[in-house]
Structure 1
Amino acid sequence: MAIGPTSPLTHDSAIVIVGGAGTIGSSTALHLCRRGYKNITLLDVYGFPSDYVTYGPSQSAGAGDINKHIGTSYSGTRGEISDMTMDMWRNDPVFKDYYHEVGELTAASLPEHIADLRKSYKAKLNHPNKSEEIKWLGDREEIIAHCPHLANGLVDGWQGIWTEKAGWGAANDAVDSVGRELRNFGVKMIFGQPGTFGRPLIDEATTRCVGVITKDGEKHYADRVVMATGAWSPSLIDLAGQCVSKCWIVAHLEVSEEEARRYKSIPVVYNGEVGFCFEPRFIRHHEPGKDRWIIKLCDEFPGYTRFMETTPFGAEEPIKVSVPRSHSAHPTDTVPEEGMRRLRRVVEVMLPEFTEREFVKSYMCWCTDTADAEWLFCQHPSHPGLYLATGDSGHSFVTLPSAGSQVVDLLEGKASAERMRRWGWRPGRGDPEGTGRGGVAPKDLSDLDGWAHGDDERAE
């Protein structure tokens, strides 16, 4: 294999994608295949959802969720590719069966939050071809007219934006569809322990990344390595503080078939003061007799971190990084007491019929934020051939059909100078344009009551 900082990329180049069964990784592999690349290897701890029995469930990230919000974005790179994204959700054979356009209500009740929504609404009205898709709902009656299931909810004082052309995507099914397509293309896939990242292979003479060593000691040589490792990225590669991994809490509420019929096709409801929920989804289980109807809901808050000392690649000594703790590997973990109270509040406000019903499942879903909520898509500044494709900031799943095209543009040198600036290696840049999450700093899980984590490294 030729080693050098500028080895040309051809359709026969060996490309390894670490985290290749996740949102950005699988999307990157799909777009590589569609552009004619033939030598692609995916590495991941967990396989695609259809590999549940063999590799176990990946339940700690967006790609392993049962549903995610889908709708037009109006800011940053995601806004610029939004038309492409929504067209693929509606028309691409890999994705169209997994998008459900039921509409979305984005609401608030506090005056300052309503004012923020008003500003957002006015900005969206100026968006070409999108103004007819949105409507301002100014009181309870207008909200109930669009979301009849909220008639008994605690929605007095709510106002907000109604978006007709929005809904939800069946997350794990959509990613599984990508996986089937990649198998049709002949992509090599290695999951489980043999697919678990150990460290990059670096040529000492050139500092170029020439592959990956997995946890089993196997060396996988490549012309390009793409680290699409989501929330685990900062604990695997020293990102100089550019990404912080955070988690939010997901709960599943089981309903009967009759109840599911009554709530079928309800819009996605999001209130940043409370949380959000989706229509019931029929979940087929890999074991007979365990199929069920599930309403997924989530609270809304700044997220939680889990800072601990670790030594990612590139760090000369241990550093403090927020490290995810996978529900897949630790299924008996509980959620903090305050988080459970917030989840019960979502039910009380939006689904009061089920106020007394217990959740059948609750767990923490992880992502990694950049300060400005733009992706970190760039070549590592010290190791040519090593590419970072992370920094989802809680927004990447909506771009599952299209995010990979942006990564491939980066690999091919086609990304615009402006996008390279936004995505580039930028420690210390912060959020000068105010596009990030903002708000108060997240709490750390170690400071919270009720989080059972028996074998955690910091447990006492």
Structure 2
Amino acid sequence: MTRKKEEKILIVGAGCFGISTAYHLLTRGFSDVTVLDRSNVLPAPDAASCDINKIVRSAYHDVFYARLARDAISLWKNNSEWGNAYHESGVVVLGADTVYAKTALLNEINLGARVKTLDDIDMVKDAFPSGVHIGHIFDQERCYFNKDGGWAAASEGIAYAMSKVKDLGGKVIPGIQIKGLTKVDGVTTGVHCEDGKTIAADLVIIATGAWTASTFPELSLGRRCLAAGQSVVTIQLDEDEAERYRACPVVLDFTTGFYIFPPTRESVVKMARHIGGYVNLIHNEDAKEAISTPRTVHSHGAGGLLVPKADVKVLRECLQNIYPALAKKPFSSTRMCWYTDSPDSDWIIDVHPTDPSLVIATSGSGHGYKFLPVLGKLVVDRIENTMELELQKKFAINRPLGHIDLSREGRQVQTLNVDGLCTAEDLLP
């Protein structure tokens, strides 16, 4: 279906997928683009795209994502286009003997990244500041260093993208709770809001991330858009400690899934694990089965920030392996970061098979943010029917789900047990 540039387009969700799509629609000449978000404060404090930082790396087993990440990095580096959110610290990849990392390294080399293998402990130490003591794991696992990567200040990047959308004439409206879609003869005509109002549109784009399946239960997306919570912890450093670690690279271990950032300007060090995560199953009267629904500070106050105490223990053990000195410090905060996971970790970017006025753009699967400058281009390609056929199949909402995510192989999804969440005592070393 050919879309007209003057059509009214409504994007539900002002996170990475939604705001990037709005930007690329406007740069392609679409003139009536509105982004709605449930949060009264934007960027939404409990959205995955609003964490303090996100890894920007091109270490991908799938060469499509590796190439696209390289394209995104080249844009992140253009401060006049994307501000100062990106920090090129480099990325040290551990677990280089895993199937995933072996292929990722070859992809990065073939794509021309500034990569070098760290073949002995002296080479490893050279990748870190001289005053930083690194752990014994670097003697046990093969690793490599890619200078073409680092991290982005997540909320800052989203806020900058929002400003670009507004500068191009787009609207970004906070505090709109969506209840569902309005339809005529099975075709979407807009959205129905919690306050009883309806908002009409010629095209609705659902980019609601981890809230997709629970907000639109009639679409039966619970398995393909699974809300999975990931445990995140931070450490607050003093000024001297922060200066010692500030020039560190991002460290990403594909063996354990553990990753850790250098300190932010506020001297905060964040760490987490890329694993199967946790589901919070809630029964919905409009769905055939329980739907995993984010449990966040927005819905549960301070309790929505707590993570399983078992994860706190594992994260400290992983930290001990990387930076032993930091493992002696208390964790200063915790957070459940909710991803939208597809079973194969490929995104969903598709026009609904039976509804040409509905587009789904989600399932970032924990690796969407780094593509903020380019992600919306793919969505608009699909809307304008210019996306390559192979990519249409890759991102189809109803694609066969054959392959598994090798970056999280063997790390099963668990049910969140609210009785097993951490206490203040669990955060102590």
Q: Say whether 1:431 aligns with 2:412.
A: no
TM-score normalised by L of structure 2: 0.89
Count of paired positions: 414
Work out which of the residue numbers 427, 449, 453 in structure 1 matches 2:420.
449
Correspondence list, 1:44-63, <5 A: 44-46=37-39, 55=41, 58-63=44-49
Whether contact under 8 Å (2:229, 2:278) holds in the other structure is yes
Residue of structure 1 in register with 2:193 after alignment = 214
Aligned partner of 1:281 in structure 2 is 264
TM-score (norm 1): 0.83
Q: How does 1:32-431 map to 2 (within 5 A)?
A: 32-46=25-39, 55=41, 58-72=44-58, 74=60, 75=62, 77-91=64-78, 93-108=80-95, 114-116=97-99, 119-120=102-103, 123-124=106-107, 127-130=110-113, 133-148=114-129, 151-155=133-137, 156-192=139-175, 195-203=176-184, 206-237=185-216, 238-239=220-221, 241-272=223-254, 273=256, 275-282=258-265, 292-311=266-285, 317-333=287-303, 334-426=306-398, 429-431=400-402
1:401-435 per-residue CA deviation (whole Å, 9 max, x = no partner) reads: 000000011111111111111111226x2233766
Distance 1:274 1:118 in 2: 12
Contact 2:133–2:324 at 8 Å: present in 1 too? no
Displacement after TM superposition at 1:400 (Å) = 0.5
SS at match of 1:12: coil
State whether residues 202 and 209 of structure 1, in contact with CA within 8 Å, keep that contact through their aligned partners in structure 2.
yes
- CA shift in 2, pair 1:12/1:269, >3 Å: same
Shift in CA distance, 152/396, structure 1 to aligned 2, threshold 3 Å: closer
Letter in 2 for 1:358: P
Give the % identical residues: 27
Structure 1 residue 118: deviation in Å?
A: 6.2
- After superposition, the Cα gap between the structure-2 partners of 1:411 and 1:446, relative to the gap in structure 1 and judged at 3 Å, is same
- The answer for unaligned runs of 5 or more in structure 1 is 1-5, 48-54, 283-291, 453-460
Aligned-residue RMSD, C-alpha: 2.4
Matched AA of 2:3: L
Letter in 2 for 1:324: P
Q: Please, which moves more after superposition, 346-355 or 245-254? A: 346-355
For 1:223 and 1:280, the matched residues in 2 are separated by 45
Structure 2 residue 16 is matched with structure 1 residue 23:
yes
Structure 2 counterpart of 1:267, which letter?
Answer: P
Alpha-carbon distance in structure 1 between the residues aligned to 2:21 and 2:43: 22
Q: Deviations over 1:208-246 (max 9, x none)?
A: 101111212221111110000111112223226222221
CA 1:34–1:332 in structure 2 vs 1: closer, same or farther (change >3 Å)? same
CA drift at 1:436: 7.0
Question: Structure 1 pair 414/197, CA: closer, same or farther in 2 (3 Å)?
Answer: same
Q: What is the Cα deviation at residue 116 of structure 1?
A: 2.9
1:103-145 per-residue CA deviation (whole Å, 9 max, x = no partner) reads 111113xxxx724366325632662323xx1122233332112
What CA distance in whole angstroms lies between the structure 2 residues aligned with 1:129 and 1:325? 41
